[in-house]
């Protein structure tokens, strides 16, 4: 049971959007929290990874939860009360989906772990529950420090969703990571799933954008013959913060899956792999790829640089693309 209705989806998000530690007071919850990942677990143990452009603006008794959806902005207001360590109750005050059923108090499990907030809700089950019914939802949020906007030194940014992305065209899950296009490059305004290589690289990850050099004529319709770069967020990390220890474990798994011989760089926050492969059965067309995994803000960004062998110095071009965009990811997400 994947949640398709965007208003209902954001209503569920809002209903679960509050947390604290076993020793936390409500004052420790006050501030702005930005949604990073939603993990839906079904009774048959299938896991669906999602994310939406939402925040929670929390004070000591209430929180406001605005979300940007494909249909525009919707917002909810909730009262909340901590009832026991790790347990709390929320009650909806206003919102587009407020009904007598949704107005009932909702029990939520919560954890605050440093700059992260994790919460789990267990939706009520019908008598004729099906194997693919929703068992629980775990969501991850990061505390937003509301960095001051340029030119507004005395005024912090508002606690608000980021708004529609200008860097991508598909309507899949959004990444919470910040990103600005490096100088000399431009976003591509075409659906990456229409390109076989890019669709394979993107998989179910949260797309941030696809890019080509500013001199390219392919900004509206990318050809597989053009060097390009994909920037995305790894969906497999799930609804938990990925810090040094977790990223170290991830690097071990990547080395086992991709191969030690393909490693081209490694630091505490980055691991890079280089590879080449055929794009057709004849074996005459070969693509060079550099993939870099970057640990920022408790998430893992994936930067995928690709150039075909028909491109001059294709291997170096693919690596340069990945390096430039990895540096930008790190700069934008300190």
CA pair distance 247, 255, nearest whole angstrom: 12
Q: Which residue has the higher pLDDT, 42 or 283?
A: 42
What CATH architecture does domain 6-144 belong to?
Answer: Beta Barrel (2.40)
Q: Is 42:1 a contact under the CB 8 Å cutoff?
A: yes
Q: Quickly count: other Cβ atoms within 10 Å of residue 28's Cβ.
A: 14
Residue 94 tokens, joined: 């206003």
pLDDT band at 147 (very low <50, low <70, confident <90, very high): low
User: What is the pTM (predicted TM-score) of this model?
Assistant: 0.85
Q: Is 41:129 a contact under the CB 8 Å cutoff?
A: no
- pLDDT at position 295 is 98
- Of the listed ranges 6-20, 142-156, 177-191, the least confidently predicted one is 6-20
Q: Where in the chain are all domains bearing CATH 3.40.1000?
A: 185-332
Q: Where in the chain are all domains bearing CATH 2.40.128.280?
A: 6-144
User: Looking at the predicted structure, is the pLDDT value of residue 17 above 60?
Assistant: no
Q: C-alpha angle with apex 331: 330 to 332, nearest 5 degrees?
A: 95
Q: What residue has token string 């008794």? A: 61
- Of the listed ranges 39-53, 126-140, 237-251, the least confidently predicted one is 126-140
Q: What is the mean pLDDT of residues 114-125?
A: 85
CA pair distance 206, 155, nearest whole angstrom: 31
Residue 80 tokens, joined: 């909340």
- pLDDT at position 324 is 98
- pLDDT at position 104 is 79
pLDDT band at 258 (very low <50, low <70, confident <90, very high): very high
Q: Which residue has the higher pLDDT, 132 or 25?
A: 132
Beta strands 106-113 and 116-121 are antiparallel
- pLDDT at position 128 is 64
Q: What is the mean pLDDT of residues 246-260?
A: 96
Q: Which of 163, 175, 120, 146 is nearest to 58 (CA)?
A: 146
- pLDDT at position 2 is 47
Q: Is 309:288 a contact under the CB 8 Å cutoff?
A: yes
Q: C-alpha angle with apex 28: 25 to 33, nearest 5 degrees?
A: 135
- pLDDT at position 15 is 52
Q: Which residue has the higher pLDDT, 146 or 165?
A: 165
Q: C-alpha angle with apex 20: 176 to 26, nearest 5 degrees?
A: 110
Provide the percentage of residues in the chain whose pLDDT is more than 70.
79
- pLDDT at position 20 is 37
- pLDDT at position 278 is 64
DSSP string over 301-313 = EEEEEEEETTSTT
Q: What is the mean pLDDT of residues 229-248?
A: 96
Q: Which residue has the higher pLDDT, 310 or 52?
A: 52
Q: What is the mean pLDDT of residues 202-225?
A: 78
Q: Which of 89, 97, 102, 43 is nearest to 63 (CA)?
A: 89
Q: Is 173:78 a contact under the CB 8 Å cutoff?
A: no
What mean pLDDT is reported for the chain? 83
List strands edge to edge, sheet with 299-308.
185-187, 206-213, 228-233, 299-308, 286-296, 270-278, 263-266
Q: Which of 290, 276, 284, 286 is nearest to 308 (CA)?
A: 286
- pLDDT at position 22 is 38
Q: Is 99:90 a contact under the CB 8 Å cutoff?
A: no
Q: Please check whether the domain covering 185-332 is classified as CATH 1.25.40.
A: no
Dihedral over Cα of 189, 181, 162, 303: its sign: positive
The most confident of 14-23, 167-176, 276-285, 322-331, by mean pLDDT: 322-331
CA pair distance 203, 7, nearest whole angstrom: 26
- pLDDT at position 1 is 43
User: Looking at the predicted structure, is the pLDDT value of residue 319 above 80?
Assistant: yes
Q: Name the CA radius of gyration of the chain, rounded.
A: 21
| Residue 147 per-residue DSSP state | P
CA pair distance 187, 174, nearest whole angstrom: 16
- pLDDT at position 148 is 42
Q: What is the mean pLDDT of residues 254-280?
A: 90
Q: Quickly count: other Cβ atoms within 10 Å of residue 146's Cβ.
A: 14
């Amino acid at each position: 049971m994947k949640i398709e209705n965007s208003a209902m989806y954001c209503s569920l998000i809002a209903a679960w959007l509050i947390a604290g530690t076993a020793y936390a007071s409500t004052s420790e919850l006050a501030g702005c929290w930005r949604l990073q990942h939603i993990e839906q677990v079904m009774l048959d143990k299938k896991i669906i990874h999602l994310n939406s452009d939402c925040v929670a603006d929390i004070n000591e008794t209430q929180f406001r939860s605005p979300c940007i959806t494909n249909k525009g902005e919707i917002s909810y207001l909730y009262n909340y009360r901590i009832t026991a360590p790790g347990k709390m109750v929320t009650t909806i005050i206003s919102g587009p989906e407020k009904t007598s059923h949704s107005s009932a108090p909702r029990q939520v499990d919560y954890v605050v772990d440093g700059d992260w907030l994790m919460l789990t809700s267990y939706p009520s089950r019908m008598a004729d529950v099906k194997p693919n019914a929703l068992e629980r939802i775990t969501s991850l949020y990061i505390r937003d420090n509301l960095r001051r906007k340029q030119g507004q030194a005395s005024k912090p940014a508002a606690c608000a969703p980021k708004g529609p992305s200008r860097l991508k065209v598909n309507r899949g899950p959004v990444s919470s990571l910040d990103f600005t296009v490096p100088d000399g490059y431009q976003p591509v305004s075409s659906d990456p799933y229409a390109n076989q290589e890019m669709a394979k690289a993107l998989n179910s990850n949260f797309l941030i954008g696809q890019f080509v050099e500013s001199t390219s004529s392919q900004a509206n319709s990318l050809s597989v013959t053009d060097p390009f770069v994909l920037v995305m967020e790894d969906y497999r990390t799930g609804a938990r913060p990925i810090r040094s220890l977790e990223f170290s474990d991830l690097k071990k798994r990547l080395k086992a899956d991709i191969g030690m011989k393909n490693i081209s760089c490694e630091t505490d926050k980055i691991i890079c792999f280089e590879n080449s492969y055929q794009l057709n059965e004849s074996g005459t067309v070969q693509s060079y790829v550099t993939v870099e995994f970057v640990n920022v803000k408790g998430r893992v960004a994936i930067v995928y640089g690709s150039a075909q062998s028909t491109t001059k110095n294709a291997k170096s071009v693919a690596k340069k693309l990945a390096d430039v965009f990895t540096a930008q990811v790190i700069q934008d997400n300190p």
